[in-house]
Structure 1
Amino acid sequence: MAVESSETQYVIVGLGNPGREYALTRHNMGYLTVQALAAMWGLSFKEEKQFQAFVAKGKVEGITVHLLLPTTYMNESGRALRLYLDFFKVGHNRLCVVCDDLHLSFGELRVRSIGSAGGHNGLKSIQSHLGTQHYVRLRIGIGREQLLQACRDYVLEAFSHEEQQELPKILEDGAKVLQRLVGEELPKVMNAVNTRISKSGEQQI
């Protein structure tokens, strides 16, 4: 079987923890957003044990898009991602990682093309296994209001009732950004997502 060129493929990985007990926790914002994208595209996930991940694949604008949800738990996300990228010969320039971000207000979106892990253990694992900080990441705010609360406790808590009311719109917006990243130039998407905020403070996608 011929191996597809890296330039005709794109991998999107959602960071989170597997299992029902984590399904609606703040640390699973990456998982949830990629699941929303799969639903928007009509794709279904299948567990691929050799890659330690749930995988969904489809063609979007002539690009083979791979959606990945690692089953390794957050702190070992990089192991599953490295296995997958190596097998399909996809470079880190054709990768987007979706994760939660404590330092952004709830639901705020930011696209970055390089940067440190910022204390995020999933990103630390990815950067350790890939050996680079040069990859696109979509960070979605889970804004910690009580700064004295332990970070680990906060991210592993379920979304509050108020947050759950906002969640569908946030996931829809995140999925739309991911779709744009597949089909548009990165600087254009970054400019639109990172700077287009209305006077009311609501982000415009």
Structure 2
Amino acid sequence: MEKPLRLLVGLGNPGPEYLDTRHNAGFWLVDQFCRRHAISLTPNNKFWGLEGRWQRGTTDLRVIMPQTFMNKSGQSVAALANFYKIEPEQILVAYDELDLPPGVAKFKKGGGSGGHNGIKDIHAKLGTADFLRLRIGIGHPGDRAKVTGFVLGKPPLSERQRIQDTIDASCDAVDVLIEQDLRAAQQLLHSFKSTK
């Protein structure tokens, strides 16, 4: 039996200059999820982030957007998880994924960081990689030397639209994950293709 989801994390960098950059795809997802469920996010210095809570029926979900900058995301996630006694497998982390094209998103349980500094830090601070991930495709510049500029750049409008479509579908899938299970959520999300 799967344990219920208790924490949704969106990864990104704080500050207006990063708002529309590819690296903030995790923030975009949490923004969308919070709008959908009327969850208000407020600064919580104890957890170094913007925190919200969604309660419905048996669901009691915390939501956080760490405000620590990407490579220290684990500080925020671990502080909140430890405080509320949330186990790693009850955490879903949404983030930008270079290895998937825009218009594609995939769930993944555990595994490596794929070089993503936010995931790397969460793994280090939690002491385990056994948390759920929601990988939001942003594409790859084709050259490792260009990755930093690429993730900190803004996608062109057509790509942004495909990413947004994926985020809408991902929010549907997170709802299914909460109401049913990971397999049902994966079936829904992994069959989605942006038509843009």
Query: Does TM, scored on the shorter chain, surpass 0.5?
Result: yes
Following superposition, the deviation at residue 179 of structure 1 comes to: 1.5
Q: How far apart, CA to CA, are the structure 2 residues paired with 1:184 and 1:8?
A: 9
The reply to whether residue 137 of structure 1 matches residue 136 of structure 2 is: no
Instruction: Write the letter of the residue equivalent to 2:86.
Output: V
TM-score (norm 2): 0.91
| Higher alpha-carbon Rg | 1
Q: How does 1:8-157 map to 2 (within 5 A)?
A: 10-147=6-143, 150-157=146-153
TM-score (norm 1): 0.88
Select which of 167, 171, 183 maps to 1:171: 167
> SS at 2:148's partner residue?
helix
- Quote the residue 1:158 is aligned against: 154
Q: How far apart, CA to CA, are the structure 2 residues paired with 1:76 and 1:169?
A: 28
Uncovered stretches (5+) of structure 1, i.e. residues with no partner: 1-6
Q: How far apart, CA to CA, are the structure 1 residues paired with 2:155 and 2:90?
A: 31
Q: How far apart, CA to CA, are the structure 1 residues paired with 2:14 and 2:157?
A: 22
> SS at 1:193's partner residue?
helix
Following superposition, the deviation at residue 22 of structure 1 comes to: 0.4
Following superposition, the deviation at residue 43 of structure 1 comes to: 1.1
Q: How many pairs were matched up?
A: 193
Following superposition, the deviation at residue 184 of structure 1 comes to: 1.4
Q: How far apart, CA to CA, are the structure 2 residues paired with 1:117 and 1:107?
A: 21
Uncovered stretches (5+) of structure 2, i.e. residues with no partner: none
